[in-house]
Amino acid sequence: MQKIAFVFPGQGSQKPGMLASLHEVYPEIGQTFEEASDVLSLDLWSIVSGNPEGLLDQTHITQPALLTASIAIWRVWAARGYAAPGILSGHSLGEYSALACAGVLSFPDAVRIVHQRGLYMQEAVPSGTGGMAAILGLEDSKVEEICQAVAGSSVVAPANYNSIGQTVIAGEKGAVERAMLACKDAGAKRALPLNVSVPSHCALMRDAAEKLAADLGNVKLSPARISVVQNVDGRIALTTDTIRENLLKQLYLPVQWVSCVRTLCENGYHMLVECGPGKVLGGLSKRIDPQIQTFATEDAESLADAAKSTA
């Protein structure tokens, strides 16, 4: 039997109507969203279903919505006794989903924390002053060099090392635009601005990390029941102190997704189940290591296929 890893998506994987087919079939979906709604005192499933006033794309709503979606799918999987993963990892926000599934964070605490995390991230940078962009087809070292060269007194730096030849940069809007142009001049295949409300995983998020530190300090973290590979260093977290510290660093340091996936592979995990909406992590992971098999769980059909293929 192959060893199975679960990976959990972050912001960008949300979409109105996500998990609709799962909601029709599995009671755990509705139950999990009801629990999250009680924590936040709002109807999270209605927001996910209809996206009134674009709420689903506001960071403080996006984060608990995606976390809840991932936990709901995890509960569906576990309740039916499907193949248990031996290791977990998540991209950015997805790391909180992984930690909740590993028993490090309780589900209510995780919902509260990511909601606050989203608020702090929005408060850290005035609307319209930050930006992010995906740089395709340029070596990481060259992207780093360009960011340093064009920054001046502004902030721009790699934010996500997503796959081989795909690096996301983040910072102040003008600096990000300068870096995009310089990357194109240096031979990047594409430099694409991302439609995001905050520039994540860069120095502009240090204020958000300081605020989040108080919240995380008041939350109980339990030893992980399943190993979790964290974003900031691509390593398996060994203590709750390390987990707490890395969650704060994750706000202002880049997501080392390439390192995370390589750690999974080095530990013998070449079968990845993406626990949440979308297929983004599956695509990125295959580009990091073509030997990887990936399975989506975003709808009833794909979840059934994943369960059958990993049995």
Would you name the residues annotated as active-site residues? 92, 201
Q: Rounded to 5 degrees, what angle do the CA atoms 75, 73, 259 make?
A: 105
Helix then strand then coil, in percent of the chain rounded to 5, is 50, 15, 30
* 192, amino acid identity: L
| Token representation of residue 296 | 């989506």
On whether the CB atoms of residues 133 and 192 are closer than 8 A, the answer is: yes
* 185, amino acid identity: D
On whether the CB atoms of residues 113 and 105 are closer than 8 A, the answer is: yes
Strands (E), the chain: 4-8, 87-90, 130-136, 156-163, 166-172, 190-193, 227-229, 271-274, 293-296
CA-based nearest residue to 158, from 148, 142, 149, 170: 170
Task: Give the count of alpha carbons within 13 A of 174, CB side only.
Answer: 4
Phi, psi of 147 (to 5 degrees): -60, -45
Q: How far is CA 51 from CA 43, 57, 279, in A?
A: 11, 8, 21
